[in-house]
Amino acid sequence: MFSRVLHKNLKPSSIFLISLLSLLGVFQLGSLSAVRAGEQLAPTIEFSTAEKAYIEKTGGIRMCVDPDWAPFERINEKGQHEGISADLIQLVAQRVGLKITLYPVKNWDESLAASKAGHCEIMSFLNQTPARDQWLIFTAPMFYDPNIIITREEHPYIGDIRGLHGETVALPRGTMVEERIRKTYPNLNVIPTGSEPESVALVSERKADMTIRSLIVAAYAIKKEGLFNLKISGQIPEFTNELRIGVLKEEVLLRDILDKGVKTLSAQEREAVSNRHVSIKVEQGVDYSLAAKVLAGALLVLLIATYWNRKLSRLNKELKRLSVTDKLTGLFNRLKIDIALESEIARTQRFGQPFSLIILDIDHFKNVNDTFGHQAGDQALIAVASILTKNTREVDIVGRWGGEEFIVICPQTDEAGILNLAEGLRQKVEAYDFPVAGKKTASFGVSTYCNGDQPREILQRADEALYVAKNNGRNRVEVLQRKLQ
Report the CATH number at residue 90.
3.40.190.10
267 and 341 assigned to the same domain? no
What amino acid is encoded at 460 in this protein? Answer: Q
119 and 265 assigned to the same domain? yes
253 and 353 assigned to the same domain? no
121 and 48 assigned to the same domain? yes
- 6, part of any domain: no
Partners of 119 in beta bridges: none
Q: Which residues contact 101 (CB under 8 A, 6 or more apart)?
A: 60, 61, 62, 63
261 and 134 assigned to the same domain? yes
pTM equals 0.49
- 218, part of any domain: no
CA distances from 104 to 34, 111, 116, 135 (A): 20, 8, 15, 20
Give the residue numbers spanning the domain of 461.
334-479
CA distances from 295 to 14, 57, 247, 333, 395 (A): 18, 63, 56, 47, 52
Domain count, the chain: 2
Class of residue 415 by CB neighbours under 10 A (exposed 0-12, middle 13-18, buried 19+): middle
Q: Which residues contact 138 (CB under 8 A, 6 or more apart)?
A: 128, 244, 245, 246, 247, 255
273 and 338 assigned to the same domain? no
Partners of 58 in beta bridges: none
- 137, part of any domain: yes
Mean pLDDT estimate for the chain = 83
- 81, part of any domain: yes
- 258, part of any domain: yes
266 and 344 assigned to the same domain? no
440 and 372 assigned to the same domain? yes
269 and 131 assigned to the same domain? yes
- What CATH number is given to the structural domain containing 355? 3.30.70.270
- 233, part of any domain: no
| 64-121 tens-digit pLDDT | 999 988 889 999 999 999 999 999 999 999 999 999 999 999 999 999 999 999 999 9
42 and 139 assigned to the same domain? yes
Q: Which residues contact 465 (CB under 8 A, 6 or more apart)?
A: 359, 444, 445, 446, 447, 478, 479, 480
Digits of tens for pLDDT over the chain (485 positions)? 333 333 333 333 333 333 333 333 333 333 333 344 344 556 789 999 999 999 999 988 999 999 988 889 999 999 999 999 999 999 999 999 999 999 999 999 999 999 999 999 999 999 999 999 999 999 999 998 888 899 998 888 888 888 889 999 999 998 889 998 999 999 999 999 988 888 988 998 999 999 998 888 877 776 676 666 888 888 887 788 899 999 999 999 999 999 999 999 998 898 888 888 875 333 344 445 555 555 656 666 566 667 666 766 676 666 666 677 888 898 999 888 988 999 999 989 888 889 999 999 999 999 999 999 989 999 999 999 999 999 999 999 999 988 899 999 999 999 999 999 999 999 999 999 998 899 999 999 999 999 989 999 999 999 999 999 999 999 999 998 765 44
- 377, part of any domain: yes
CA distances from 338 to 74, 107, 119, 393 (A): 27, 32, 34, 19
- 420, part of any domain: yes
| 39-54 tens-digit pLDDT | 455 678 999 999 999 9
